[in-house]
């Protein structure tokens, strides 16, 4: 049985959808999800996915949620760093106690970041917990979602300038849906000999280049201007850490691991930009 945690979230739900698309015969007793609110997963139950109650804040719910699981797709939780880490500890301990055969942890490329930030420390310490456990596991390190591009650039189209503290750093981007596709492919792989997979985009480019490409698609002036990093607030900590990581080149490395899992590379940056910013997309 394959079980996906956090399947009421955007990434977890897509992973389940791609598992079904790749292997429809999983439905029944071979595909399950673990969610805090089973009532919100009624559509999955309707599709013959086994819905189990599993709340990382209530460790007593996890042994039953993980019972009989051969492969556990551990989707990271949201929230403050310490809370997320405790939730992941609870999940790993429960997976070990339940005899889970293999854990696939959805990590981030920033897990290699030095010095660590609150944003990256969650992935670093979760990976370390898995490494020190007796659980067979695979780490799937993901880049930033390309889905963030409209949020970054659409407001900047008003005055023609995006100002963020990303310096001259470059990054690769992959859509949330395509990452879910790669994660599903890994969960179904006959063998998982490679411990770490880096699911990068086809190319790493800077925000100035991205702004120029968006400008061409929108036929509107748009440029990138590097700003000074400000002290983050609770509301901006994640984005500030992300742009700081871009400035340090944390998302610059490229890998062919996505294509090795899925059978083809992810969409090109130009394709993604056209999907997000072509006039019909903004209408």
Confidence of residue 165 (pLDDT cuts 50, 70, 90): very high
Q: For the chain, which residues make up each domain, given as ranges?
A: 1-142
Q: What is the pLDDT of residue 31?
A: 97
Whether the pLDDT of residue 13 is over 90: the answer is yes
Distances (CA, A) of 214 to 166, 178, 224: 17, 21, 11
* Residue-wise pLDDT tens digits, 237-249: 566 788 988 998 8
Q: Which residues contact 31 (CB under 8 A, 6 or more apart)?
A: 1, 2, 3, 16, 19, 20, 49, 50
Which fold is adopted by the domain 1-142?
Answer: Rossmann fold (3.40.50)
Q: Which whole number is the average pLDDT over 172-201?
A: 96
CA torsion through residues 62, 108, 193, 136, sign? negative
Could you tell me how far CA 92 lies from the centroid of its own chain? Answer: 18
The secondary structure of 231-269 as a DSSP string is PP-TTTHHHHHHHHHHHTTTT----SHHHHHHSSPPPPH
**Does residue 280 register a pLDDT over 90?**
no
pTM summary value: 0.93
pLDDT tens for 143-156 read 999 999 999 998 89
Distance CA 261, CA 202 (A): 14
Beta bridge partner(s), residue 196? 139
Higher per-residue pLDDT: 95 or 239? 95
Does residue 233 carry a pLDDT above 70? no
- Predicted confidence at residue 44, as pLDDT, reads 95
Residue 282: pLDDT band with limits 50, 70, 90: very low
The owner of tokens 């994640």 is 238
- Mean pLDDT score, 114-132: 87
């Amino acid at each position: 049985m394959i079980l996906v945690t956090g399947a009421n979230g955007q990434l977890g739900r897509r992973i389940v959808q791609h598992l079904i698309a790749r292997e429809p015969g999983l439905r029944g007793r071979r595909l399950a999800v673990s969610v805090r609110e089973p009532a919100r997963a009624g559509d999955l139950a309707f599709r013959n996915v086994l819905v189990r109650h599993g709340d990382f804040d209530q460790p007593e719910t996890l042994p039953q949620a993980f019972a009989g699981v051969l492969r556990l797709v551990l989707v990271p939780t949201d929230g403050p760093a310490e809370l997320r880490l405790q939730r992941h500890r609870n999940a790993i301990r429960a997976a070990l106690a339940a005899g889970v055969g293999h854990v696939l942890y959805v990590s981030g490329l920033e897990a290699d970041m030095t010095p660590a930030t609150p944003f990256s420390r969650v992935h670093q310490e979760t990976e370390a917990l898995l490494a020190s456990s007796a659980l067979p596991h695979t780490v799937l390190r993901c880049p930033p979602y390309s889905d963030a591009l409209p949020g970054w650039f659409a407001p900047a189209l008003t005055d023609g300038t995006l100002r963020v503290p990303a310096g001259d750093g470059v990054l690769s981007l992959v859509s949330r849906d395509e990452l879910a596709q790669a994660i599903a492919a890994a969960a179904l792989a006959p063998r998982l000999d490679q411990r770490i997979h880096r699911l990068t985009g086809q190319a790493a480019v800077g925000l100035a280049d991205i702004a120029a490409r968006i400008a061409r698609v929108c036929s509107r002036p748009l440029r990138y201007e590097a700003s000074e990093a400000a002290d983050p607030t609770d509301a901006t900590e994640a984005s500030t850490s992300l742009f700081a990581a871009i400035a340090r080149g944390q998302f610059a490395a490229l890998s062919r691991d996505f294509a090795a899992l899925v059978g083809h590379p992810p969409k090109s940056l130009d394709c993604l930009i056209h999907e997000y910013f072509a006039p019909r997309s903004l209408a």
